[in-house]
């Protein structure tokens, strides 16, 4: 149970400025000495990296599709221990959920957590029409509490005056256009936080042009959120049973914090390493997340880690890889030229100029590996500009009821005790436990 102050920063649509505004609010509150726990609605990896850098606390995803409603509540309660306030960044437009429904939308998560909503509205090119827009969002779903609005990209004082006198909600901010603070994008979205620190700079803009005291007051008018089960602290863990090497660098940087915490809680010591520059660590299992291996192919092709991977898999080490990690473990990848990679999975990979898959994934396992019994459920998300072309004798691990996967609803290539998927999976307790048990078994062989 928690009664921590909380606020949901929602948007009218993607691109209205909610990431910048959310990050600026986090930065402004942190500068005031507040311990801010950040969250992101949906399966995104990039926005949470900016939150984490600003707040000094790992940002968590809240996604009812992957986690279930109770999972969102449990993560929220666990992660907010020791914090003063929670700031949650929404996803897309406030009412945009799965398949045109409300499910897994920003509004859905706001209801789950009893969180007051601040609506970010991009008013460039509008004056009085903004009032109709706001009224429509306010009246569309009366089950959520929209406390106020932040008007973004205000052109001038006159622009503000044309709107301010008739606005129907408390205006908590009038943010001018700031072209000097903009994060560059690429094929998977904004640049990661370790590549730019610009989001932090927006804290001073929020302090100057927003009513932060009023926002804190609204965030404090909340009811308690209660879990159906006892929620342990995020730092709690069992005795260490195995070590897991986690690839973490500019090439592999997409991880759900809950996945890492779940591995730790079930007895894993996480050993972070860089496949770009490090040899394989002396560990009992390996975890390669997604990221941007395609931007670092010359370095990966020549790295010690790449040269050592196949032998490690032949020796039986359990390996889990997803998306960018899957690409890395194929035989070779075609980009500006062909690069030789780990040759673990019997497949070729190629980069493409258009997105190949985008959306939620659900399925079940159909083969038995050391850590994946049949009929185990997988939920997650896929988003990639690449294809994997398996050999004819390649074996798939998952049959998907939703999502594209590697080939027409089949996902998860296997080789020995290695498993690689296009799906960025949200770990179940069963999956994490099986992975750690396999690592422990390998360490005792």
Active site residue 323: yes
User: Is 282 in a helix, a strand, or coil?
Assistant: coil
Question: Considering just the CA atoms, what is the radius of gyration of the chain in Å?
Answer: 23
Residue whose entry in the numeric block shows the structure tokens 């190949």: 356
- Residue 210 per-residue DSSP state: B
Show Cβ contacts of residue 139 under 8 Å, excluding neighbours closer than 6 positions.
none
Give, in order, the Cα–Cα distances in Å from 443 to each of 283, 372, 417, 438.
8, 18, 13, 9
Which of 318, 336, 291, 339 minimizes the C-alpha distance to 414?
318
Phi, psi dihedral angles at 191 (to 5 degrees): -65, 155
Question: E strand or H helix at 120, and its extent?
Answer: strand 117-122
Asked if 173 and 213 touch (Cβ cutoff 8 Å), the reply is no
User: b vs e for 32-51, b when ≥16 Cβ sit within 10 Å of the residue's Cβ?
Assistant: eebebbbbbbbbbbbbbbbb
The sign of the dihedral angle between the CA atoms of 55, 46, 285, 259 is positive
CA distance 216 to 6: 8
Asked if 120 and 21 touch (Cβ cutoff 8 Å), the reply is yes
**407 dihedral zone (left: phi>0; alpha: psi -120 to 50; beta):** beta
Show Cβ contacts of residue 240 under 8 Å, excluding neighbours closer than 6 positions.
267, 268, 269
Burial class (CB in 10 A: 0-12, 13-18, 19+), 218: buried
Q: Which of 55, 305, 323, 342 is labelled catalytic?
A: 323
Which of 171, 216, 39, 174 minimizes the C-alpha distance to 113?
39
Q: Catalytic residues, which ones?
A: 323
């Amino acid at each position: 149970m928690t009664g921590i102050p909380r606020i949901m920063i929602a948007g009218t649509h993607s691109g209205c400025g909610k990431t910048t505004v959310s990050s600026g609010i986090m930065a402004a509150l942190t500068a005031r000495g507040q311990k801010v726990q950040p969250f992101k609605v949906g399966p995104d990896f990039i926005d949470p990296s900016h939150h984490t850098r600003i707040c000094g606390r790992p940002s968590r995803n809240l996604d009812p599709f992957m986690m279930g409603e109770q999972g969102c509540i449990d993560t929220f309660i666990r992660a907010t221990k020791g914090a003063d306030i929670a700031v949650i960044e929404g996803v897309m437009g406030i009412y945009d959920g799965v398949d045109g429904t409300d499910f897994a939308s920003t509004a859905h998560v706001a209801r789950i957590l009893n969180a007051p909503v601040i609506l970010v509205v991009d008013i460039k090119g509008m004056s009085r029409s903004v009032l109709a827009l706001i009224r429509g969002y306010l009246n569309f779903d009366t089950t959520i509490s929209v406390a106020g609005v932040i008007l973004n990209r205000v052109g001038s004082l006159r622009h503000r005056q044309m709107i301010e006198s008739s606005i129907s909600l408390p205006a908590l901010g009038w943010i001018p256009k700031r072209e000097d603070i903009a994060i560059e994008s690429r094929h998977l979205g904004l640049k990661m936080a370790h590549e730019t620190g610009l989001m932090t700079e927006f804290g001073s803009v929020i302090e100057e042009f927003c009513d932060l005291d009023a926002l804190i007051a609204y965030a404090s008018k909340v009811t308690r959120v209660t879990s159906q089960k006892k929620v342990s602290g995020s730092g709690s863990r069992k005795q260490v049973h195995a070590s897991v090497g986690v690839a973490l660098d500019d090439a592999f940087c997409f991880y759900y914090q809950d996945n890492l915490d779940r591995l730790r809680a079930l007895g894993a010591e996480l050993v972070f390493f860089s496949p770009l520059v490090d040899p394989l660590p002396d560990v009992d299992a390996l975890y390669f997340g997604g990221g941007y291996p395609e931007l670092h192919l010359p370095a990966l092709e020549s790295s010690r880690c790449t040269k050592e991977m196949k032998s490690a898999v032949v020796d039986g080490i359990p390996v889990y890889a997803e998306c960018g990690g899957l690409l890395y473990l194929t035989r070779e990848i075609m980009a500006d030229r062909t690069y030789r990679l780990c040759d673990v999975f019997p497949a070729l990979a190629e980069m493409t100029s258009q997105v190949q898959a985008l959306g939620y994934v659900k399925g079940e396992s159909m083969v038995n590996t050391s850590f994946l019994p049949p009929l185990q459920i997988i939920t997650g998300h896929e988003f990639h500009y690449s294809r994997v072309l398996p050999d004819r004798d390649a074996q798939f691990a998952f049959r998907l009821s939703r999502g594209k996967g590697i080939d027409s609803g089949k996902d998860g290539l296997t080789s020995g005790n290695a498993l690689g998927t296009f799906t960025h999976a949200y770990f179940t307790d069963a999956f994490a436990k099986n992975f750690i048990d396999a690592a422990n078994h390998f360490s005792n062989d």
